[in-house]
Structure 1
Amino acid sequence: MVKITLKQRLFFNDAISMDDIENNYTLDEKYEKEFEIKGKTELELKQLITLINKFINKSLRIPAFESFHFGYKIPQISCGDFDFLKINKTNVVNIEFKDISLANTGDFERIKNKLLYQLKIRNNLLSIFNREVISIGFILNKTDLYFYRLEEDQLNEINTTDILSFLTRSATDFSISMLSDVLNRESLNISPINSGSTSVDKLYDLTDQQQGAINKIIKLDSRYYIVKGGAGTGKSLVAFELANIFSEQGKNTILFFLAQENKLYEQYDRKLFKVLTLSSNGDDIPGRFEKIYQEDFNVLIIDEAQRLTTKQIDRTKRLIEEKDDRHCIFVFDYEQNMVSDEEGIIIKQYLEDFVD
């Protein structure tokens, strides 16, 4: 939420205080509310101060903490906030805080696992900067400090020398004044199609609108559903999340992506749900929609459904109504047409009339 600049203050090596933070921050313009130090924010700020003061007598304290972001939350993405984020010219250092001073003794591993999950999500999102991402977990237990780095999907313990090295390995990038100009929902364009296997492992977060659509569909109180939107609105993300949910419920689920995406098939072939594309490896009739008629399923999700013909839509209806427990979800882009604008309008209207 705020950018904290401590360069001038760090010329003196006496301990940083809460007043120093309050007097040296800039609010991100995307946030209308003033920054308030209270509740959870106050606890995290105290941990931030503990972190900085750990290095207050080090000669590299200025380049390490001269400018960083605290408590940043990506607008319209429910992924929590970034406790500490330092943008350097060749790397990005993300440090997530956990204070277990009041936790039970047996909670340490549980909190480490939660930290691992959060760091994996943040690590994926921060790839937008196109530079090395260094993800660190900082656990505070009263006077004891523990640091872990995310490496190959696991947490490895590191020391304070490592922390200082990561923070100062590259010069601070002062060209990014407002983090929201770079790290926002529009620039991320989160999709299983463009973010690889991380999306299958559910390392993504949904907007309120996407979650609302999912909540309506998972009840399956209708035979047919439509999910529609323009490019970059997260339609495919909704499709994959629905496939995950229905598969976890024990429903035989197929996600049919109507394009020639061999890599997509390879990435998701061994997951709980089955993925078909127009050129899925190993299929007897590649490149043809008719492959769906060979499958048994409870839920069929068709992504890029604007590519269907009216004949295929009618055939799909007959297929769905062969069994009482079958459902179909059509996902399409209302801005894209495969052949002509006129035909595209006809197909989309046919789909909507069909579902109604």
Structure 2
Amino acid sequence: MQRLLVTGGAGFIGSNFVHHVVGSTDAHVTVLDKLTYAGNRASLADLPSDRVELVEGDIADAALVDELFADVDAVVHYAAESHNDNSLHDPSPFLHSNIIGTYTLLEAARRHDRRFHHISTDEVYGDLELDDSNRFTETTPYNPSSPYSATKAGSDLLVRAWVRSFGVRATISNCSNNYGPYQHVEKFIPRQITNILRGIRPKLYGAGRNVRDWIHAEDHSSAVLAILERGRIGETYLIGADGEKDNRTVVEMILTRMGLPADAYDHVTDRAGHDLRYAIDSTKLREELGWRPRYADFEAGLAATIDWYRDNEEWWAPAKDATESFYASKGQ
């Protein structure tokens, strides 16, 4: 697989994957990205132009997608509308990108017989109780709770149907919450870091008891590449790094790491339908493919992430004011 197409490769998780591929293989990467507010050319700017090509376009544009599929060996599908708060405000873009876009890509994979890997989320499984010792597995029933997670669940089911009905050579991965470089400042961890860098008190939804299973984007990338290269066609793999932390703990870790009192944050109105707990069991991925996370220590990964945002204000500053203005209008 020397020629890869990466959809959404100018977004947060996609751009980290492109960096990982360039650094660990000799493959050429074509990035297809609509360059909405969540996509950023600057996230790919330091990569060699003879290895990475950026095409601006919509994954639901069938003619463009067909043209690009003709020239690649495999496709990794990251492109998605992904922010829960935005899906509650306006669900329609989530239907367009996550359902129609995925359908368009699958039809191209079917026509061209291309290897296809679909990136999904643990949010399709709904949530777990805070005192539940169980974790999500590949057989956990789907129970999405927001327009975002519902459309991602729908896209997963489309992939499974195209594998069974049409023989598309596809795999799926469902990953826990990512953090790391190039993440938009609307997201939880970079919002808190950049607030502190701007002298603004961090914001915590409700009591901050909601638990997320954090994984560094570099570890997500290495797992996806392992699945693309060695995963069994038709299989789903869960990606996680055993990084369960409640939101309050994460905020307090960030504050402490940045030299401020651990309680120097404000509580704001909780998100509607806010899931309680996510937790991933990645046993299948680890045992079948031998994958292990580099950032098994969440605190070390968080420290590296704080350093990146401190050193790259020119990357995140243009979006910061508009993001905080939007949250302020909602009392968050």
Q: Taking structure 2 as the reference length, what is the TM-score of the superposition?
A: 0.25
Q: Which has the higher helix share?
A: 2
Q: Max radius of gyration: which structure?
A: 1
TM-score (norm 1): 0.24
Q: Which has the higher strand share?
A: 1
- Specify which structure has the bigger relative contact order, considering alpha-carbon pairs within 8 angstroms and separated by 6 or more residues: 2
